[in-house]
Amino acid sequence: MELQRKMWVLIQRYVTGNASPEERQVLQKWIDKSRDNEQVLREIEKIWKMTPEENFETDVEEAWRQFRERINQKSTEKTVKQIQTVRKTYPKKSNTFVYAMRAAAVILVILLAGMFSYYLGNNNSLSDSIAEKSEFYQMQEMVTSRGEKAKVRFSDGTEVVLNSASSIRFPKEFKGSQREVYLDGEALFKVAHDASQLFIVHAQGARIEVLGTEFNVKGWEEDGKTEVVVREGKVSVNSNLSELSDESEVILTKGYMTELIKGKAPQPATKVDSNYYLLWTSGGMHFDNVPLQKVFRDIERRFDVNISVERVDILDVPFTSTFQYAELNEVLSVIAASLGTDYARHEREVKFY
């Protein structure tokens, strides 16, 4: 007996558990009609149900162990790769000039606290508590030379892109109620959110407090000021002088910036396009009404060159320009053109006339 296609579909749905209540009713009526019908249904049901399991075994725990090993290896490779990729964004050569790129050096700095515990030697209980502290104070430092950039990932997952000629000190592991790092130079922070641990950046004269957000801090000691721009979230910027605290706090939200001159309270927040302030992370440069003296410092750090001027008065001239991707010669030419003058370059030495 040849069954209708429609009936076959119903049987199939019923047997595999895909039939709706209405379909089951239709089917019920159909099997009630004849014993043959019922038999067909039961046969197919049996075939479906008695289809034996495949004989297949594999050790999932062992597989997971191997997987973990593989992932751990990969993640070390990845960190190294990231630093290399960041460095690759620099122009490798420009006419007669080859920029030397050096690997970012990670220097382990063990601070005095560590030494103390050593000195105190056998005094057990005391040295124990200090040893605990010393571990807490064990700081690491990432330092970039001129012409380099680096990416650092802290134990809490916070990521930092460090600009050229900058350094950041951070504990091996964040403990206690605060995550504190110390910056000299410029860095973009992507802070991992953790409501129970405040994240604090100490920069030139500034103390920046956050819970979890993305922001840029620019503060070289030689510049004597710190600039903070927020890309995402909310941060609090304060002077690091205790007598100035409290009333001098400036709250920054997305797209706002402040400037802080060492020893003074931060400026009121102003609205900016934060993308410009982060251009450096992708190889660009941005200057908005910046005195040439400061522009030159940025160029020196970024391209590892020394810039001298014949006429000192040009150092105060404000300069405005944006380079999506900065090439040394291009940047120098644009500056020279804006001054209506010329420049000469010999390897690392640049001179403006």
Residue numbers at the binding site for other proteins (CB under 8 A): 5, 8-9, 11-13, 15-16, 18, 39-40, 42-44, 46-54, 56, 58, 60, 63-64, 66-67, 70-71, 74, 78, 157
Least spacing, CB of residue 26 vs other proteins, in Å: 16
Nearer to other proteins, 15 or 104 (CB): 15
Nearest approach in angstroms of CB 236 to other proteins is: 25
The distance of closest approach from Cβ of residue 187 to other proteins in the complex, given in angstroms and rounded to an integer, is: 22
Give the Cα separation of 193 and 178 in Å (integer). Answer: 12
Say if residues 254 and 232 touch (Cβ distance below 8 Å): yes
Q: How far is the CB of 60 from other proteins (least distance, A)?
A: 5
Residue 42 Cβ vs other proteins, minimum distance, rounded to whole Å: 6
Closer to other proteins by Cβ: residue 155 or 324: 155
CB of 52 to other proteins, least distance (A): 4
Which tokens belong to 288? 């908005």
Residue closer to other proteins (CB basis): 52 or 340:
52
Nearer to other proteins, 15 or 299 (CB): 15
CA distance 347 to 258: 36
Spatial distance between the Cα atoms of 318 and 291, rounded to a whole number of angstroms: 4
- Residue closer to other proteins, measured from CB, 161 or 326: 161
Between 9 and 126, CB nearer to other proteins: 9
Return contacts of 154-159, CB within 8 angstroms, 24+ apart. Answer: 154/179, 154/181, 154/192, 156/192, 156/194, 156/197, 157/192, 158/189, 158/190, 158/191, 158/192, 158/199, 159/189, 159/190, 159/192
Instruction: Give the angle 282-341-345 at the CA atoms, nearest 5°.
Output: 60
- In angstroms, give the least distance from the CB of 184 to other proteins: 29
Of 16 and 20, nearer to other proteins (C-beta) is: 16
Coil, helix or strand at residue 5? helix
Least Å from the CB of residue 56 to other proteins: 5
DSSP letter (8 states) at residue 131: H
Neighbours of 250 (CB within 10 A): 22
Give just the sign of the alpha carbon dihedral 323, 339, 301, 289: negative
- C-alpha to C-alpha distances, 269 to 99, 177, 183, 237, 258, nearest whole angstrom: 38, 28, 21, 10, 5
Considering the complex, state which of residue 157 and residue 224 has its C-beta at the smaller distance from other proteins.
157
Provide the token pair at 187: 């860095």
Residue of 223, 183, 220, 176 whose CA lies nearest to 201: 183
